[in-house]
Structure 1
Amino acid sequence: MRLIAEQPYIKVKREVSSIEQREIELRRTIYLYDEKVVTEHREFPIKDLLDMSYRLIGGTGGLLYLHTSKGVFSYTVKSSPEQFVKAYRDYVK
């Protein structure tokens, strides 16, 4: 299995106590391998991945969408995933 590209993303975890609510930002990475795409809790075989897209939200961040045969999964990114999406499309073609 060969690593083709990786893309950092974040997951926001909310903790609520009796007096406050806190948001904790967890830093994670999506890995694109020649056989699959791997996130913190999921693996998508390349054959199940139909496409990737990106939507800019705000100034620099946005949402990276993985379009799969099992549905669309979104990941919050703080930097543009254009190179990651391009690496996927170049590899699939």
Structure 2
Amino acid sequence: MTETLARLNATYTEHVIEDFQKKRVPVEIPLCLKEDRIAYGHNLEISYPLKEVLDVSYRYEPGKIGFLYIHTIQGVRTFQINSDPAGFVEQFHQLDHL
């Protein structure tokens, strides 16, 4: 198992049906920058190998919902964030991954 270099919490909205009503439930998941991949999910079961990640960028303002963008060779994956991701992104840019 590889070391976690940086961690950030992300949020997504899950749609569930409860009592015959459709509800939107926010779910928080960790995003972890590892030495060889960016992993996320409840058990970090989903990941992007760093050799396939072209860039990581973000749009964030305190007190508002922000967005973290993972640019891969297959497209861009967007995550909602509630805290400043600058440390996570800076750590990613320090890696020699391409």
Query: How many corresponding residue pairs?
Result: 93
Structure 2 unaligned regions, length at least 5: none
Instruction: Tell me how far apart the structure 2 counterparts of residues 17 and 31 of structure 1 sit (CA, whole Å).
Output: 31
Q: Equivalent residue of 2:71, what SS?
A: strand
Distance 1:16 1:63, change over 3 A: same
Q: How big is the alpha-carbon RMSD for the aligned residues of Structure 1 and Structure 2? A: 2.1
Opposite residue 75 of structure 2, the aligned amino acid is G
The answer to whether 1:68 aligns with 2:69 is no
**1:61 touches 1:77 (CA, 8 Å); kept in 2?**
yes
Q: Which runs of 5+ in 1 are unaligned?
A: none
Give, in whole Å, the separation in 2 of the partners of 1:34 and 1:5. Answer: 10
Question: Hey, what's the Cα distance between the residues in 2 that align with 1:84 and 1:92?
Answer: 15
Percent identity of paired positions between Structure 1 and Structure 2? 23
The equivalent position to 1:48 in structure 2, one of 34, 49, 52, is 52
Secondary structure, counterpart of 1:64 in structure 2: strand
**Farther off after superposition, 42-51 or 14-23:** 14-23
Which amino acid in structure 2 is aligned with residue 48 of structure 1?
E
TM-score, L = length of structure 2? 0.81
TM-score by length of 1: 0.85
Cα distance in structure 2, aligned partners of 1:23 and 1:57: 24
After superposing the two structures, state which structure 1 stretch, 50-59 or 16-25, moved more.
16-25
8 Å contact kept, 2:6–2:34: yes
